[in-house]
Amino acid sequence: MTAVMIQGTGSNVGKSLLVAGLCRALLRRGLVVRPFKPQNMSNNAAVTADGGEIGRAQALQALACGVAPRVDFNPVLLKPETDVGAQVVVHGQRIASVKARDYAGLKPSLLPKILESFERLRAEADIVLVEGAGSPAEINLRDGDIANMGFAEAAKVPVILAGDIDRGGVIAQLVGTHAVLPDTDRALIKAFLINKFRGDPTLFDDGLAEIVARTNWPSLGVVPYFADAMKLPAEDALDVRSAGTGHIKIAVPLLSRIANFDDFDPLKAEPDVTLDMVKPGQPLPADADLIILPGTKSTIGDLNFLRAQGWDIDLLAHVRRGGRVLGICGGYQMLGQSIADPDGIEGAPETLLGLGLLNVSTRMTADKTLTNITGHHPASNAPLSGYEIHIGETSGTDQPWLEVDGQPHGAVNGTVSGCYIHGLFGSDAFRAAFLSEFGASSQAHYGQTVDDTLDALAEHLETHLNIDAILSIARGQ
């Protein structure tokens, strides 16, 4: 038994959750399972136990496998910084920032590093579940591909193709993919499945028969829509939505390069909370109890974006009314007096005035901080854990807000506070103490909820997919 790759007919067809659910299902069958994604593009990243960063989806898949996240699970991570460029992270470490056109020339040098990681995982596991990216039908990107068929061909991994019926046109998705693929790539696909079905699946029997007849690929099943997916961390910013109807309103502006937005998932799970993810073009709500400035892949760019939306004016009015503000990572940097980027780490060298709500200043540096942390909240003595993933060093005269690994961390000035810690709301005790300051009670057990949801997803896939057939494909049978 070696590996099988789940590719999709397009982005956001559910590949990440399918792999996570299959990881947990096979773990429950007693197998040693490892997740793998050759190349990911996301600003939602996780810090690994070996001191690097990978896509958040692979961290969730690692949890589904019962192991700590490692850089081998996602050897190449692209973190968009602009509409035409991204930071390139290889084996967990930033190596360059390149424009999309220039990245094509870099890819051939990355394939050996990808295969190196994959072979390490295959040597230790009963099965490696590989997730593709985007769609193999993007044949204009096939030359030099390392994310889909290019990887599958190089590693000799069979492919299962997933279609998304929820967005419509699933017959055309699958049959069209079959039609445009070259013969060698088409031969790598051993079966297909339908994801996100709503209603009576027997009504799609004729559709399944048409796909089988036109592609000669067998069907592995039709997976009904899994409503509890919202309880799991999302990787795509397109999946970020408002939630809840509680009496405490927390507003989060959707910055153009928002990062690590799963910071807010534990708040969504709280019955006393309404989480309002504010879209561009909308004002920050005047009745918010708390405004959180989230992390961002481009602090200077998103500070300019925030001002272009008029959110800086809304934020200052909120503070004058006595409202609370919290900045996390890039949001923390924005709250200070200035952001200096003399070496042009984020673009042209410049120094930008911050929002002036904390007496701290930030200097951008080329070195990136990547570390898992433990600490506590001195005001309540509640323990917390999380991770730092940022460039830049921040210092100032405000009182520290947290204590992290025995050292003061962050800043607090009246109703405004900030820190570099992602994932702190995942700590149940800290979240309960934080929400109690607003008169809210905490009823959620976030980590247990995620783990229970992975079990439910595994049972969902066991019911609706032919997992024995997937194992046979992985064995090359």
For the sheet with 324-328, list strands across it: 273-278, 248-253, 290-293, 324-328, 416-419, 411-413
Phi, psi of 463 (to 5 degrees): -75, -35
Instruction: Say how far apart CA 57 and CA 407 lie, in whole Å.
Output: 31
Return the ∠ at Cα 382 (arms to 377 and 384), rounded to 5°. Answer: 75
Contacts of 53 (CB under 8 A, 6+ apart): 45, 46, 47, 71, 77, 89, 92, 370, 389
178 touches 214 (CB < 8 A): yes
Residue 455, both tokens: 């079990």
Residue length of the chain: 477
- The position carrying tokens 């559709």 is 207
Contact (CB, 8 A) for 322 and 300: no
Q: Answer yes or no: 329 catalytic.
A: yes
CB 66 within 8 A of CB 27: yes
DSSP 243: B
Looking at residue 213, its amino acid is A
Q: How far is CA 367 from the centre of its chain?
A: 22
Active-site residue identified among 23, 91, 178, 329:
329
464 part of the active site? no
Phi-psi region of 211 (alpha: psi -120 to 50; beta: other; left: phi over 0): alpha
Residue whose C-alpha is closest to residue 192's, from 211, 214, 179, 166: 211
**Which of these is catalytic: 178, 318, 422, 460?**
422
Other C-beta atoms lying within 10 Å of the C-beta of residue 210: 14
d(CA 247, CA 183): 58
- The H or E element that residue 338 is part of is strand 338-341
Cβ neighbour number for residue 383 with a 10 Å cutoff: 14
CB 140 within 8 A of CB 25: no
Distance CA 36, CA 71 (A): 10
Question: Which residues are CB-neighbours of 347 under 8 A, at least 6 positions away?
Answer: 298, 300, 301, 341
Residue 451 · residue 358 · CB < 8 Å: no
SS3 call for 151: helix
8 Å CB contact between 63 and 454: yes
* Nearest in space to 398 (alpha carbons), one of 377, 384, 381, 419: 419
Q: Which residues are catalytic?
A: 329, 422
